[in-house]
Amino acid sequence: MSAGGNPQMQELAEQLEALEQHQEALETEIESLRAEKVAVGDAIDAIEALETGDTVQMPLGGGAHVQATVEDIDQVTVELGADYAAERDQDGAIDTLNSKQETIDNRIEGVREEIADVESETDQLRQRAEQLQSQQRQQQQGE
């Protein structure tokens, strides 16, 4: 029986491919989370630097911006998640965003742990595939 015709080998190959795709998706998720964390950090820096009366460029979308004056730095609207937002004072907004960064860090750590689990499972499947190939070679040599 050839390796290509072995149903166990085919199943292992499919499982390995699925695990590799899952790992790539997890790594992409980490990249996205890191980018989100940078954006939150940029927002914290901006809020810390702004004062009432400062002039800023406010994005309107589509690459368009308008010049605006900060009327009250203690009226910052911060997204909380799940389509909710809240108005916070300057310090409260910074605290909320710092909390968001901690949540992102926790999620990154969770995804890293999941990647480690996937890598472990991949290693086990590869070892199993090597065992099956070795058994096949032994059977073919014995024929």
pLDDT of residue 81: 85
Range of the structural domain that residue 59 is part of = 3-142
Q: How many domains does the chain have?
A: 1
pLDDT of residue 140: 78
Rounded Cα distance between 53 and 51, Å, is 6
Rounded Cα distance between 95 and 32, Å, is 22
The helix (run of H) or strand (run of E) holding residue 64 is strand 64-69
Rounded Cα distance between 14 and 125, Å, is 10
Rounded Cα distance between 134 and 8, Å, is 13
CATH of the domain at 33: 1.10.287.370
Digitized pLDDT (tens) for each residue of the chain, 143 residues in all: 344 557 888 898 899 999 999 999 999 999 999 999 999 999 999 999 999 999 999 999 999 999 999 999 999 999 988 999 999 999 999 999 999 999 999 999 999 999 999 999 999 999 998 888 888 888 877 76
pLDDT of residue 136: 81
Helix (H, G, I), strand (E, B) or coil at 132: helix
pLDDT of residue 65: 95
pLDDT of residue 29: 97
CA distances from 129 to 23, 95, 102, 137 (A): 19, 51, 40, 12
